[in-house]
């Protein structure tokens, strides 16, 4: 079965981690694959849809992070995150995402994810507010000497009937990451997304995309959608 379809393939046990992803806004830019090919770990390349690949920027709330069994961690398990991601495929045909950055407002999470999984987490000051159907997200990096921020306001519309592009962008059942010079795949599982249309009310990027080497994307995103979220779980990582 094509792993871009909305139903996740079975996740092998043991499951090591669970999370709840809530109030996600998906912002996407279509780009030529050559623009981002240098960001991919060894053994992976940009996945394409009708000859184009995509850069995604996703602000959301993380809740209930914890081990696969047992309670979540009340303070560490709930935080705000904004990630910048690319869409990958490896030599076996396995599809995933490659994260260029994952900004969070919990320093302990940043430290743990960087050390254990090698993920490019960064510490940021963040907010998320809701006024009716309007969701507003802000982020200001607190990471080294990098000065960058973001403000996004999106008005949520009607439920979306996902098509092939929406499945390409959201039905991703793992991530590729380079760790100690080798490429690993961390699989995940979650129910199919409920997606809504989104209208961009405000978009101000003060260097966030530039901070990961994508400063040429100095235009509003071309594709916007929202999801109330899904519960997710992760299996053991393995070498590709």
Contact 63, 109 (CB under 8 A): no
**Is the CATH number 3.30.930.10 carried by domain 15-239?**
no
Residue 31: name the closest of 12, 15, 47, 10 by CA: 47
pTM for the full predicted model? 0.94
- For the stretch 156-213, pLDDT in tens is 999 999 999 999 999 999 999 999 899 999 999 999 999 999 999 999 999 999 999 9
Q: Going by DSSP bridges, is the β-strand pair 95-104/121-131 parallel, antiparallel, or unpaired?
A: parallel
Name the DSSP class of 204.
Answer: E
> What are 227's strand-pairing partners?
24
Per cent of the chain over pLDDT 70 is 94
Task: Look at residue 4 and tell me whether its pLDDT is greater than 80.
Answer: no
pLDDT recorded at residue 81: 97
Name the DSSP class of 208.
Answer: T
Going from N- to C-terminal start, the domains of the chain cover 15-239
Does a cis peptide bond (omega within 30 degrees of 0) precede residue 14?
A: yes
Alpha-carbon torsion, ordered 75, 78, 79, 80, to 10 deg: -170
Task: Look at residue 68 and tell me whether its pLDDT is greater than 80.
Answer: no
- For the stretch 102-158, pLDDT in tens is 999 999 889 988 988 899 999 999 999 999 999 999 999 998 888 999 999 999 999
């Amino acid at each position: 079965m094509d792993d871009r379809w909305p139903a996740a393939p079975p996740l092998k046990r043991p499951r090591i981690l669970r999370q709840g992803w809530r109030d996600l806004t998906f912002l996407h830019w279509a780009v030529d694959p050559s623009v981002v090919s240098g960001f991919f770990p060894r053994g992976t390349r940009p996945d394409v849809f009708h000859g184009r690949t995509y850069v995604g920027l996703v602000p959301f709330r993380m809740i209930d992070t914890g081990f696969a069994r047992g309670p979540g961690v009340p303070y560490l398990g709930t935080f705000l995150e904004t990630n910048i991601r690319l869409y990958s495929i490896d030599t076996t045909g396995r599809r995933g995402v490659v994260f260029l950055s994952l900004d969070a407002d919990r320093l302990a999470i940043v430290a743990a994810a960087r050390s254990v999984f090698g993920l490019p987490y960064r510490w940021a000051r963040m907010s998320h507010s809701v006024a009716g159907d309007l969701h507003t997200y802000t982020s200001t990096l607190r990471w080294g000497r990098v000065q960058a921020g973001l403000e996004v306001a999106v008005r949520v519309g009607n439920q979306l009937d996902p098509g092939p592009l929406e499945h390409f962008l959201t039905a991703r059942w793992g991530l590729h990451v380079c760790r100690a010079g080798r490429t690993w795949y961390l699989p995940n599982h979650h129910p199919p997304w409920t997606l809504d249309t989104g209208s961009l009310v405000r978009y101000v990027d003060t260097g966030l995309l530039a901070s990961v080497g994508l400063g040429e994307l100095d235009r509003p995103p071309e594709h916007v959608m929202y999801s109330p979220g899904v519960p997710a779980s992760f299996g053991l990582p393995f070498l590709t």
